[in-house]
Amino acid sequence: MWDFSTDPEFQKKLDWMAQFVREECEPLDRLFPGMGAPYDMENVKARAIARPLMEQVKRQGLWACHLGPELGGQGFGQVKLGLMNEILGRAQWAPTIFGTAAPDTGNAEILAMFGTEEQQRRYLQPLLDGEIVSCYSMTEPQGGADPGVFACRAERSGDGWVINGEKWFSSNARYAEFLIVMCVTDSDVPVYQGTSMFLVPKETPGINILRNSGVHGEVEDGAAHAYIRYENVRVPADALLGTEGQGFAVAQARLGGGRVHHAMRTVGQCQMALEMMCERAVSRHTKGSLLGEKQIVQAYLADSWIELQQFRLQVLHAAWLIDQGHDYKSNQLAIAGIKVAAAKVFHDIVQRAVQMHGSLGLSDEMPLGHMWIYAMMMGIMDGPTEVHKMTIAKNLLKKAVPAEGLFPSAHLIGRTEAARLKYAGRY
């Protein structure tokens, strides 16, 4: 139960996290910048700093808390995880230091549910221990995340499968020990029944990385998301995760509370942007007074705070619904809502922060430019905003009832007549 207050013992954990992320994780973002940096296991200097920090997190009982105790986590509910991710969102390195970095979290859950004993031995435990990273290879260049146009196929061959096709923006492929690949296995049935998921070791012949991409400002050496061509990639029968045709069921299993966590990390980023705005407002003089004394700036601050509070409570409410026993499908409306709101609120708050900082806000001397780009990413990754809006609308329309007769049920003439009939002789 969460009633706008947090258990004192857990609040102590959150307080420890806030100080730890600020003092230990945020500096790593400056020493080893870039979205791919936390996944580079070959960066000896970075790993030498990161590993002792991971051990501190483990001693606090805060490592991989989304996992159940059988996998070394705490099995926390979504509200607790949401409050933790609000803090983790302040640093690029923080999720890695706390064992909650995507896509490894979801891939670990897939392996735990669908992997063989050998796959779990070889990949799951090292993944849970933060010793390796993994890749999720789904989207394709000709149609993005639209499964209706997927062309990467897996076909039976002897006692195994052969994969051919292309994927792009395959997360962290350049650093991964293995890839989880979604393939078409039967094009004669509806798309949600005709795809399957495969575990493919990185060293398998035929995995050709054409190039690596990153966000604006990242150079090739720092980019981690790969454009891959799978050419006659042969895998054994047990590479199939789940059963044939179960690809989307496996994919949904990995999402879990991931969208809640993304949204709460966005809350943390928005809070940072608001803090920058407040500092700027009391530091910068122009036209004879502080920025904070200008009405338009006061409006920027007020609008940003209001939007952030609304969004934060919206996310925590979605988390609370999940904790009450609602499965993710029945909670689809709330989850889609926070996914849409995350991109919009983040964009609007960062936009105001950039405006208040002027040319400095646009430069690479402030984090706001990268934050603004990340706001754009929030509208695309884990499904584009437009798709989630369609989900919301369809859920709302399922409950809508057509009006009886020619006019809407809220038509005032009709309602007045109904009221007169109801209270005839009494008014």
Q: What is the mean pLDDT of the chain?
A: 91
Per-range mean pLDDT, top range of 61-75, 92-106, 142-156, 255-269: 92-106
- 223 or 103: which carries more pLDDT confidence? 103
pLDDT at 44: 94
Distance CA 2, CA 25 (A): 28
For residues 5 and 244, the model is more confident at: 244
* Interval 299-358: pLDDT, tens: 999 999 999 999 999 999 999 999 988 667 788 899 999 999 999 999 999 999 999 999
Strands 153-157, 160-170: pairing is antiparallel
> Is 283 inside any structural domain?
yes
List strand residue ranges (DSSP E) for 84-203, in order.
134-137, 153-157, 160-170, 178-184, 195-201
Whole-number pLDDT of residue 207: 97
Q: What angle do CA 102, 268, 53 make, to 5 degrees?
A: 60
Mean pLDDT of the region 402-406? 93
| Residues contacting 76, CB < 8 A, separation 6+ | 65, 66, 84
The residues, any chain, with a CB within 8 Å of residue 244's CB and separated by 6 or more, are: 185, 186, 196
What's the rounded mean pLDDT across residues 406-421? Answer: 94
Question: Quick one: pLDDT at residue 214?
Answer: 67
Choose one of 190, 224, 248: the last residue of a domain.
248
Shared domain check, 204 and 178: yes
pLDDT, mean of residues 61-79? 89
Contact 36, 222 (CB under 8 A): yes
Tell me the C-alpha distance between 208 and 206, whole Å.
Answer: 6
Domain count of the fold of the chain: 3
Angle at 73 between CA 70 and CA 74, to 5 degrees: 105
Q: List, for residues 266-278, the tens digit of each pLDDT value.
A: 999 999 999 999 9
Helix or strand holding residue 230 (H, E): strand 225-236
Instruction: Check which CATH number belongs to the domain holding 349 and give it.
Output: 1.20.140.10
Instruction: Determine contact, residues 65/77, Cβ cutoff 8 Å.
Output: no
- Kindly tell me if the per-residue pLDDT of 217 is higher than 60: no
Of 3 and 222, the one with more pLDDT: 3
Among residues 51, 80, 101, the one where a domain terminates is 101
Compute the distance between CA of residue 386 and CA of residue 51 in angstroms, rounded to an integer: 40
Q: Which helix (H) or strand (E) holds 232?
A: strand 225-236
- 381 and 267, same domain (yes or no): yes
Do 150 and 66 have their domain in common?
no
- Range of weakest confidence among 21-30, 208-217, 387-396: 208-217
Helix or strand or coil: residue 207?
strand
Judgement on whether residues 238 and 271 belong to the same structural domain of the protein: no
399 vs 146, residue with greater confidence = 399
**Alpha-carbon torsion 383, 388, 389, 394, what sign?**
positive
Residues 6 or more apart in contact with residue 34 via CB below 8 angstroms = 92, 214, 218, 222, 223, 224
Q: What is the extent of the structural domain holding 221?
A: 134-248
CATH number reported for the structural domain that contains residue 216 in this entry: 2.40.110.10
> Where residue 68 falls among pLDDT bands split at 50, 70, 90?
confident
Tokens of 258: 């991931």
Higher pLDDT among residues 208 and 36, named by residue: 208
For the chain, percent of residues with pLDDT exceeding 90: 73
CATH code for the domain in which residue 39 is found = 1.10.540.10
- pLDDT over threshold 80, residue 283: yes
Of the pLDDT bands very low, low, confident and very high (cuts 50, 70, 90), residue 427 is confident
Domain identity same for 239 and 311: no
Look at residue 195 and give its three-state secondary structure: strand
In a domain, 81, yes or no: yes
Flag whether 343 is in a domain: yes
Domain boundary residue among 194, 223, 248? Answer: 248
Q: Is residue 427 part of a domain?
A: no
The reported pLDDT for the residue numbered 218 is 53
In a domain, 408, yes or no: no
Question: Would you put residue 43 in left (φ > 0), alpha (ψ -120 to 50) or beta?
Answer: beta
- Decide if pLDDT at 251 tops 60: yes
On the question of pLDDT at 222 being above 70, the answer is no
Residues 393 and 264 in one domain: yes
User: 24-28, 38-42, 54-58, 160-164 — which is least confidently predicted?
Assistant: 38-42
Q: Are strands 285-286 and 240-241 parallel, antiparallel or unpaired?
A: unpaired
What's residue 192's pLDDT? Answer: 72
User: Is residue 420 a part of any domain in this protein?
Assistant: no
Residue 25 resides in a domain: yes
> Both 15 and 89 in a single domain?
yes
Look up the pTM and report it: 0.90
Assess whether pLDDT exceeds 80 at residue 127. yes
Contact between 369 and 363 under an 8 Å Cβ cutoff? The reply is yes
Please check whether residue 425 lies inside any domain of the structure: no
Is there a single domain that holds both residue 241 and residue 315?
no
Are residues 88 and 151 both part of a single domain?
A: no
Co-location of 95 and 23 in the same domain = yes
* 292 and 349 belong to one structural domain: yes
Same domain, 274 and 231: no
The tokens 């942007």 sit on which residue?
273
Name the nearest CA neighbour of 66 among 107, 29, 15, 36. 107
Going by their DSSP bridges, the two strands 178-184 and 134-137 should be labelled as: parallel
Q: How far is C-alpha 421 from the chain's CA centre?
A: 54
Q: Over 90: is that where the pLDDT of 165 sits?
A: yes
> What pLDDT is recorded for position 100?
92
